Structure 1
Amino acid sequence: MRIQCIVSYDGTSFYGWQKQPDCRSVQEVIETAINKITGENNIIHSSGRTDAKVHASNQVFHFDTQKDIAPKQWQRAINHFLPEDVYIKQSQQVSDDFHSRYSAMKKEYHYRLSTNPYNPFERHYIYQYPYGTLDLKSMQEASKIFIGTHDFASFCVYDQLGTTVRTISSLEIIEENGYFTFKIVGDGFRRYMVRMIVGGLIQVGAHRRSKDFLLELLESRGTKKCLFKAEPQGLYLEHVYYE
């Protein structure tokens, strides 16, 4: 039986999603919880990895099990063994050919930033931008260059094993009372890709760089690298879309 779950987590105290030696990871705490229920050596497969201190509102993962539990009861069962910074929001049975990563059509990330006075209660969940105001219209105009299919080699960390060509279908930036939200939807994202795109747009909003500068980086296809990476605590995996 293949079970799909939707999970939210506070990434503050995690070294990211992926299990790694001697580091607390989201994958590890969920697998530990599931294995306590099943007595099996269950491996969970996610829609993608998030980095240290990055959050998720609706991350998706699946696992296979022989344990006979009603699909919707997995939510309650797993949550019983999870720490307070991870919560299963939904569980259901899916077909054996479903894969959380390879079946995904699009992913949506949100990046949250504040230009208001520093708030210690928000420090883990919103990037507290310390350098004054940002020009919303300039950032919105510059964001248009990323829409469509491009080689994002200049805006990610990559190896030679996978393509850096991705399609971004929408990139919206909104502001309300000093709080900025960058909403980006695409068919996939390489490591640090969202944070580098947002970091570049912040430079435009601060009038340190221009739209043409970002376009030059993008068109260089990795020959020139974006050196601006937004802080991790403002980033949220918001939604994963399936057919």
Structure 2
Amino acid sequence: MAYDGTLFHGWQIQVKERSVQEEIQKALKKITGEDIIIHSSGRTDAGVHAENQVFHFDTDKNINEKQWARALNHFLPDDIYIKDSEAVSDDFHSRYSVKKKEYHYRLSTNTYSPFDRHTIYQYPYGKLDLEIMREAAKIFIGEHDFASYCVYDEYGNTIRTLYDFTIEEKDGFFTFKLIGSGFRRYMVRHIVGGVIQVGAHRRSIAYLKELLDSKGEKKCLFKAEPEGLYLMHVHYEEE
């Protein structure tokens, strides 16, 4: 599925706020008459987008597997779109079966555009040094304790593996691409936020490495804005 996160208070259902999960569950109720709880590959925060989010659910309703997408799209608002649907085995889980996730962060250093305000972070502080940001990205690749770059509690495991982290730029538009075994809350935004500081020559690569090595004793205080973040791909098979 894909969704524009602008008008959502995130993925997870909220008491008084609009959420992606709630909209889909309401649509499923209309189709099946059942009170279905859906399970996603992971939660996205308020303002964050997805191009290929995945969720699963159980139902007694007998509909052809490919018809589910069409039926859901009939009842869903315009900022959510189900791309495909298929039946899965009982041991599949949208979250726990994940092998890799890929996030992209989009940033522009060009003149401000009101048309892009919800879909890309429009960096207002001038140019960024692409090459030094690429060097900074390298320190995050591999298995690390990312406690300094995410929100966590005492029960949460903050050790993750980042398989790839690349940064591309064309005509003032930057794309940060991160592929990892998984990501804790705000982890991508804190990592990108830190790398942006290096690209602006406000912080050093050594400073980011010091934060990473502290394993949570020192916290990254730089968090990139939500509108630039996209969940791009969820992988369920080893390549």
Counterpart CA distance in 2 for 1:67 and 1:110 is 36
* Alignment partner, residue 185 of structure 2: 191
Aligned partner of 1:119 in structure 2 is: 113
* Count of residues in Structure 1 that have an aligned counterpart in Structure 2: 237
1:35 lines up with 2:17 in the alignment: no
SS in 2 for 1:91: coil
1:171 aligns with 2:165: yes
Match of 2:60, as an amino acid?
Answer: Q
Unaligned regions of 5+ residues in structure 2, if any? none
Quote the residue 1:16 is aligned against: 10
Question: 2:176 maps to which residue?
Answer: 182
Deviation at 1:237, TM superposition (A): 0.2
Q: Distance in 1 between matches of 2:223 and 2:4?
A: 20
Which residue does 1:132 correspond to in 2? 126
**Which secondary structure does the structure 2 equivalent of 1:41 belong to?**
coil
Q: Distance in 1 between matches of 2:232 and 2:189?
A: 14
Q: CA deviation at 1:199?
A: 0.1
Q: Give the corresponding residue for 2:204.
A: 210
SS in 2 for 1:58: coil
**Cα distance, 1:160 vs structure 2:** 1.2
Q: Extract unaligned runs of 5+ from structure 1.
A: 1-6
Where 1:183 maps in the other structure, the secondary structure is strand
Residue number in structure 2 paired with 1:239: 233
Q: Which runs of 4+ in 1 moved over 2 A?
A: none
Determine helix, strand or coil for the equivalent of 1:92.
coil
* Superposition TM-score, scaled by structure 1 size: 0.97
Could you tell me how far apart the structure 1 residues matched to 2:4 and 2:217 are? Answer: 35
Deviation at 1:190, TM superposition (A): 0.5
What displacement does 1:161 show? 1.6
Q: Could you tell me which residue of structure 2 aligns to residue 4 of structure 1? A: none
- Residue aligned with 1:184, SS: strand
Separation in structure 2 between the aligned mates of residue 209 and residue 105 of structure 1, nearest angstrom = 33
* Aligned-residue CA RMSD (Å): 0.4
2:153 partner letter:
D
Q: Which of 186, 207, 214 is 1:220 aligned to?
A: 214
Q: Secondary structure at the match of 1:64?
A: coil
Could you state the TM-score of these two structures normalised by the residue count of structure 2?
0.99
Query: Which structure's residues are more often strand, by fraction?
Result: 1
Alpha-carbon displacement from aligned partner over 1:202-237 (angstroms, at most 9, x marks no partner) = 000000001000000000000000000000000000
Matched, 1:57 2:90: no
Letter in 2 for 1:54: V
* Cα displacement (A) at 1:15: 0.2
Partner of 1:162: 156
Q: Does 1:91 align with 2:85?
A: yes
C-alpha displacement at 1:162, in angstroms?
1.4
Deviations 1:179-203 (A, max 9, x none): 0000000001000000000000000
